[in-house]
Chains A and B, each alone.
Chain A
């Protein structure tokens, strides 16, 4: 008898693209985590000539302030991945808690939570982010909070739906009959059963968060300019001389975003397939 995770893993491995994506993503995350060890220079250190094209010493060239672009890119990946991961964690936690509360308690509480969810969902996302970005002091952690607080409604809906169908199961009813404590039912019985779809959804939130951080930073409302992030690096390409004459300053950062987000989407898609009991 194969364990559940064994089955999921075996099915996941059937998706060759997803497997490749997982490896690429793993390498990128390792590079980001160990950026201080890998990067030849500090992110803001003057390293050599100004605006030099790539060569053997500076793999991706240097920028107008003579900083090594390869090092900056590594640190930027670190910042962008941290922002996206933290935002995903926050929104997943909020979504799971609210969704479980709505599904479990039902009635008035359910109605209140779900209409709040509807409100946040009907809000053009970008307006919320822009206004929120104007409220908070600009900083890396405020971006995390902003993204974390706008991305949860999808997860809340998903969890509520699963809890509602779990309520009809025999094991749930026997828990209630046996008078099990509420905390045990919520966190030891319901939570493990809703985690699979949440995991799949969270991968897409993670991908979206990377894109949103980049877009916000590009518009000048995200991570402060002093901290390198993928969006901040791309902001440099607003100047026409950089855009046309110095592609090494902006093409790598954009490519990194595309590769990262595509890989995450492939992994999420394969996870969905692998966890789907219908397959």
Chain B
């Protein structure tokens, strides 16, 4: 087992390195931060001075190697815009994003698991049909359109919820938990709808496959109650493929969070990433890309290991 994990880790490293190279390339193709400051009032000398200070006068490969070297010494660099350490910027914004993603995943699965099971158990009946249609609808609605509808209903018409998190105050800043929850309801709802939409179908098909398995017929034949058959014998086995699918959804979920954070001004990683992209703030973009790549690869690795642990037919 240890050898298997080591092998997987070693295979993930070049992929990670490759991702950072691609990141750096694409990012520098996008133009550099100096273009943004040029104007009639700025002299050429000032720009050249700035370029030297930020290390932008060096050839691209050298810039990248510098970045990599600093990274290996535990330094993610400093923002070109406000000179804050990137690690600190990420550290102060990652919490809200994780909260948003975690809550959406939890709410989405809390809806999707019972709905998927219900749908599979009542296969090809009207109830199944209704659930599947609902899941298609919820994965077909653009997040921003749903956000518009929610803002229209809950902010403009009812006045219950704030349309953006600009006045959000965390409990550590003297805000109330209820205040945070009120700010989270709409962004979480938007993300959870898409999580639920795609997962209902996965759970339904995983359950359908297992409901036809021989050991389930045995369980029913033993006279076990319907509830126990479904929850103990079927669900636990159906969870395996579902876990792996959830690992694959993390990049999508993060992508959704970036957009939702824009829509509701949620103070997370997505918001600062978007600003960094618009201002070509290289170190911040690289930091976020690296972080997300690590998270995705770690999720893949964890999925593989879980699979190997649970499924004895996988040789390692």
Question: Taking beta carbons and an 8 Å cutoff, which residues of A are in contact with B?
Answer: 17, 115-116, 118-128, 130-132, 134-135, 207, 211, 214-215, 218-219, 234, 237, 240, 243-244, 247, 250, 254, 257-258, 261-262, 265-266, 269
Contact = CB atoms under 8 A, between A and B. Distances in A.
B133 interface: yes
A131 B277 contact: yes
Contacts of B273: 127, 130
A131 B285 contact: yes
Interface string B246-262: 00000110111011001
Residue with the greatest number of chain A CB neighbours at <10 A, chosen from B30, B143, B254, B300: B30
Interface of B: 14-15, 18-19, 22, 26-27, 29-31, 133, 136-137, 139-145, 148-149, 151-152, 156-157, 251-252, 254-256, 258-259, 262, 273-274, 277-278, 280, 285, 288-289, 292-293, 296-297, 300
11 contacts: A124-B254, A125-B252, A132-B30, A244-B156, A247-B152, A254-B148, A254-B149, A258-B137, A258-B141, A261-B141, A262-B136
A125 B255 contact: yes
Complex A-B, nearest 3 residue pairs according to Cβ-Cβ distance, in ascending order: A126-B255, A261-B140, A254-B145
A85 to B, nearest CB: 17
Contact of B259 (A126, A244, A258, A262): A126
B26 A116 contact: no
What's the dominant secondary structure at chain A's contact region? helix
B137 A124 contact: no
Given A207-B140, A244-B156, A254-B148, A118 B259 contact: no
Contacts of A247: 152
Contacts of A118: 15
Residue with the greatest number of chain A CB neighbours at <10 A, chosen from B19, B145, B262, B277: B145
Residue with the greatest number of chain B CB neighbours at <10 A, chosen from A122, A132, A258: A122
Contact of A119 (B19, B30, B133, B252): B19
Contact of B18 (A119, A125, A126, A254): A119
